[in-house]
């Protein structure tokens, strides 16, 4: 494994999701919030990929595009479970995080199914960066500053071309903003 593949793992959407959860939940003492956040936003979405990779049915990058959409649908379901939990708990910030992850993943799944291979890694850093900045957390700026590195890594490992990187990042920012407006609308209160 070369240095770019190692960096790709270190800055993977799963690691960024964990970073996002820690940033939003820091100071939160309710263990149930932590458990549900980690299960629905970090582990739930990646667990089917890990299981299929262990069974040698796919690789961790899910290189076979026909396998991506069903796995992304499972991730969306996991995010939706988190969204419902945090909506019931009236934990607005985490409700927004879960909805953002679900909406962005749905958008990337649609792009991948109907248009081109949008970069999930770029969506996985630009969406959380936008989430954290909208929540007033400076960790969002750190993720924004790391996004060119993620783009470079995706180019170096030949996972994407420039347009796919831009599509992944722009889709994530736009849909995160949409999720924010939905969460702040009167119908969500």
3-class state of residue 85 by DSSP = helix
- What distance in Å separates the CA atoms of residue 106 and residue 115, rounded to the nearest whole number? 13
Residue 189 predicted with pLDDT over 80: no
Residue 134 predicted with pLDDT over 80: yes
Residue 109 predicted with pLDDT over 80: yes
- What distance in Å separates the CA atoms of residue 186 and residue 189, rounded to the nearest whole number? 6
Residue 172, judged by CB atoms within 10 A of its CB (0-12, 13-18, 19+), counts as buried
- Residue 34 backbone dihedrals phi, psi, to 5 degrees: -65, -45
Overall residue count recorded for the chain in this entry: 189
* pLDDT, tens digit, 9 for 90 and up, residues 56-104: 888 777 777 778 888 899 999 999 999 999 999 999 999 999 999 999 9
Percent of the chain residues past pLDDT 70, beyond the cut: 98
Q: Minimum mean pLDDT among 10-24, 88-102, 106-120, 171-185: which range?
A: 106-120
Closest CA to 131 of 160, 109, 102: 102
Q: What is the largest CA-CA distance in the chain?
A: 49
Domain that holds residue 89: 3-188
Assign 155 a pLDDT band (cuts: 50, 70, 90): confident
- What distance in Å separates the CA atoms of residue 119 and residue 161, rounded to the nearest whole number? 9
Token duo for residue 4: 């770019």
Is 66 or 156 the better-scoring residue by pLDDT? Answer: 156
| pTM > 0.75: yes or no | yes
Number of structural domains found in the chain: 1
Q: Minimum mean pLDDT among 26-35, 125-134, 142-151, 154-163: which range?
A: 154-163
- What distance in Å separates the CA atoms of residue 16 and residue 35, rounded to the nearest whole number? 17
């Amino acid at each position: 494994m070369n240095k770019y593949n190692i960096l790709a793992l270190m800055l993977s959407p799963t690691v960024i999701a964990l970073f996002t959860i820690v940033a939003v939940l820091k100071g939160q003492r309710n263990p149930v919030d932590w458990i549900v956040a980690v299960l629905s936003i970090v582990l739930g979405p990646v667990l089917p990929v890990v299981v299929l990779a262990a069974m040698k049915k796919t690789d961790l990058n899910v290189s076979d595009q026909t396998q991506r959409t069903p796995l992304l649908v499972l991730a969306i379901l996991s995010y939706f479970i988190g969204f419902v939990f945090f909506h019931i708990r009236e934990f607005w910030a985490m409700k927004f995080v879960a909805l953002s992850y679900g909406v962005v993943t749905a958008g990337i799944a649609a792009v991948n199914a109907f248009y081109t291979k949008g970069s999930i890694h770029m969506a996985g850093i630009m969406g959380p960066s936008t989430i954290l900045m909208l929540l007033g957390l400076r960790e969002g700026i750190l993720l924004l500053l790391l996004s060119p590195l993620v783009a470079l890594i995706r180019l170096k490992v030949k996972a994407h071309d420039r347009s796919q990187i831009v599509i992944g990042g722009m889709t994530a920012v736009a849909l995160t903003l949409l999720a924010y407006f939905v969460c702040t609308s009167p119908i969500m209160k």
